[in-house]
Structure 1
Amino acid sequence: MSTVFVVGSLNIDQNIRVRSLPRPGETVRGSDATYSPGGKGGNQAVAAARAGAPVKFAGAVGDDAHGRRILEVLAEADIDASRVRVLSTAATGTAIIAVDDRGENQIIVSPGANSGLTSDDVDAGLATLMAGDVVVLQLEIPTTLVRQAARIAKNAGAFVILNAAPAPRQLDGLLDDVDLLVVNEQEIRVLADLAGIPGDHRQLVTALPPVLGPAIVCTAGAEGSFTVLDGGLVHVPAAEVAAKDTTGAGDTYVGYLAASLLTIPRDLPAAMKTASRASALAVTRSGAMESIPWHHELPASVPSPALVVPN
């Protein structure tokens, strides 16, 4: 059976609610902190598993209570975490997340054990990779390892998805073996600046693939998500929901997208539609990993994808 392989980060999230996000130099009062498993890699793996895909994960945690809790959650989602290395030399990665009353967030990430991931870990994590599998990558681990994982996947005939988050400071071959790039509005503008191409996110979804190489899906919050198919801009609207916390919404989207492409590899708009349904439900809940829905919880539908012909 085809499998989603995730190589990426695992963090413990320290969550604090605030009335409004602090401005530079400002101190605001928040709620008591709560702790929950997260990390972009972990979130995306859990999303793919809850979407119904078989998932294998390669990453690293510290030999501490946070690391043990993360491994428990991965096991509860039926993820093969046998290639998650437990380090005695580093603490589990930490993300400090502030969420305001509108559901918007600010996130600071301390990599911890994620920085201890090695080339050998990547090789071991992808050792059983086969043609037809999907590999999901992000940028909370060293970019050298991301490039290595993408190259292994490409050579094996797998489909490579890169969520370019946090946005890269330089490209340097990062996209050479990537089939699909998933970015939000801010991240696509960073990539556009690196490529020297102007435009808003809708224009960039069309303009960037011929320059960067991979196809692009751009998520734009309440505006929905966009890609290009046969030269036309495809828009998948977002469902209208009352957002409680947007933390993890993008990761939910990526994980569900990967799981959907595993079963319908040539139907990107349909996969985007499923991913939109999942992320819309996730933002109505608090937290990252714990907000990710199971596939049986998804609402019946969102509006069908619309083809928008560029002017």
Structure 2
Amino acid sequence: MTNREEELLELIRRNPAISQNELAAALGITRSSVAVHITNLIKKGYILGKGYLLKQDDYVSVLGGCNMDIIGFPVQKLVLQDSNPGKVKMALGGVGRNIAENLVHLGVPTKLISAVGEDIHGRRIMEHANKIGLDMKHTLVLNQVPTSTYLAILDETGDMKAGISQMEILEEITIDFIQNKKQIIEGSRLCIIDTNIPADVIHYVLDNFKNTEFFLDTVSSAKALKVKNKIGAFHTIKPNRIEAELLSGIEIKSQKDMLKAADYFLNQGVKRVFLSLGSEGVFYHDGKVHKLIPNPKVTVANATGAGDAFLAALAYGRFHDYDIDESARFSMAAAIMALNYEETINPNISDENVKKTMKETGLC
């Protein structure tokens, strides 16, 4: 699309009833030039016909959890069963919400389907979504159930040592509720599901919503088991080593084992497997190519948001038709940006900054 076509399309979005003469006056060009540009936009698929019926922008949908995160950082070596001096911060969280926010920072239109309470935490989540441009119009808002809360204790290296979650509100996401979201989910370029959602709802979506690709965030080893018998319905999965072992029944101790586990998932119907190996890096396989990419050495300020940034970047890569190797490297760089930031979401994540991080860390 040319710059002039982009200007024309933006004017039409603002006022679908605008005339060609008004478009010409606004842009300082002739009406005949406007007609030529409109013809080109119709040919390219941005305008679907008379009356300026516009093509709906591609977007990603996310079905997952929203939390208020409370995170404790010790200033010295963490001592268990004792009071530790440090800092305590509150931040918006939840796997689905974190992935959705990262996608928005990467410039991907995103719709989040979740549940929040009509309380101070829920209002803060909705207000923040509105501020950054995250669409939460399809999220369930309840006035008698509190917004999910997650408490994490980190050690002196930034790794999580213990966590407690209060997430009962997500059980209010029912099959009856999700049935009404079929058009939103199937209309998306891809849909990311995190396993905080009730198992019966996930199964219903996978069995009945067919016109999109599903990405899986396993969340934890216990919650990953919700989809063990449905793993083949996902296009892309990103388990860690323990989750991959539980889901495949294959012990992973070597690169040969990684390949064997990935083959298991591919044989079930998965199209792309990204095995997260922590400090060792990422192993990927799509049935044609496979590779282990070592992790660059990085400083960790907070490890809680790295996986969310990685999966958001995988979705970004798919959204922009990256090949599997480019997707893996881009996603690793996004995770590094999250690791380097003290809070769960690094607001500086963007296409430009992730690519800059790729160059700085040798991931290009």
Counterpart CA distance in 1 for 2:230 and 2:254 is 21
For the residues of structure 2 that align with 1:62 and 1:161, how far apart are their CA atoms? 26
SS in 1 for 2:61: strand
In the alignment, residue 220 of structure 2 is paired with which amino acid?
Answer: P
Match of 2:260 in 1: 207
- C-alpha change, 1:21 and 1:117, in structure 2 (3 Å) is farther
Equivalent residue in structure 1 for 2:130, among 60, 64, 75: 75
Equivalent residue for 2:362, pick from 278, 300, 303: 303
Tell me the secondary structure at the aligned position of residue 138 of structure 2.
Answer: strand
Matches of residues 1-311 of structure 1 in structure 2 within 5 Å?
Answer: 1-18=57-74, 19-21=76-78, 23=80, 26-105=81-160, 106-130=162-186, 133-153=189-209, 155-156=210-211, 158-167=212-221, 168-169=224-225, 171=227, 173-192=229-248, 195=249, 197-200=250-253, 202-212=255-265, 213=268, 214=270, 215-230=272-287, 232-264=289-321, 267-290=323-346, 293-300=349-356, 301=358, 302-304=361-363
Closer/same/farther in 2, CA of residues 67 and 250 from structure 1, 3 Å limit: same
Aligned-partner SS, 1:160? strand
Aligned residues: 297
CA RMSD of aligned residues (A): 2.3
Q: What letter corresponds to residue 260 of structure 2 in structure 1?
A: A
Deviation string 1:212-260 (CA, Å, 9 cap, x unpaired) is 4223211223322111144553123333321111111100100111121
The answer on whether the counterparts of 1:61 and 1:92 sit within 8 Å (CA) in structure 2 is yes
Alpha-carbon shift at residue 100 of structure 1 (Å) = 1.6
Q: Secondary structure at the match of 2:169?
A: helix
Q: Could you tell me which residue of structure 2 aligns to residue 308 of structure 1?
A: none
User: What one-letter code is carried by the residue in structure 1 that aligns with 2:82?
Assistant: T
Amino acid at match of 2:99: Q
Compared with structure 1, are the counterparts of its residues 32 and 284 closer, same or farther at alpha carbon in structure 2 (3 Å cutoff)? closer
Q: 2:333 touches 2:354 (CA, 8 Å); kept in 1?
A: yes
Report the Cα offset of residue 136 of structure 1.
0.4
The aligned amino acid for 1:40 is V
1:304 shift after superposition? 4.7
Matched letter for residue 282 of structure 2: S
Relative to structure 1, is the Cα distance of residues 103 and 56 closer, same or farther in structure 2, using a 3 angstrom cutoff?
same
- Rounded Cα–Cα distance in structure 2 between residues aligned with 1:121 and 1:115: 11
Change (3 A) 1:77 1:125: farther
CA deviation vs aligned residue, 1:118-177 (integer Å, no higher than 9, x gap):
223323334234477111011112122122233344x11x11111112223465533141
Tell me the TM-score normalised to structure 1 length.
0.86
Q: Is the 8 A contact 2:61 2:188 kept in 1?
A: no
Q: Could you tell which deviates more after superposition, 242-251 or 182-191?
A: 182-191
Residues 59, 121 of structure 1: 8 Å contact kept: no
Name structure 1 gaps, 5 residues minimum. Answer: 306-311
Contact 1:44/1:252, CA 8 A, preserved across alignment? yes
Change (3 A) 1:78 1:104: same
Deviations 1:49-83 (A, max 9, x none): 21111111101001111111111222233111101
- Structure 1, 100-109 or 226-235: larger mean CA deviation: 226-235
The two structures have a TM-score, normalised by structure 2, of: 0.75
User: Once the 2 structures are TM-superposed, how far is the Cα of residue 5 of structure 1 from its aligned partner?
Assistant: 0.6
Aligned residue identity for 2:352: H
Compared CA separation, residues 32 and 241, structure 1 to 2 (3 A): closer
**Which has the higher relative contact order, 1 or 2, with Cα contacts under 8 A spaced 6 or more apart?**
1
CA–CA distance in 2 between the matches of 1:98 and 1:245? 11
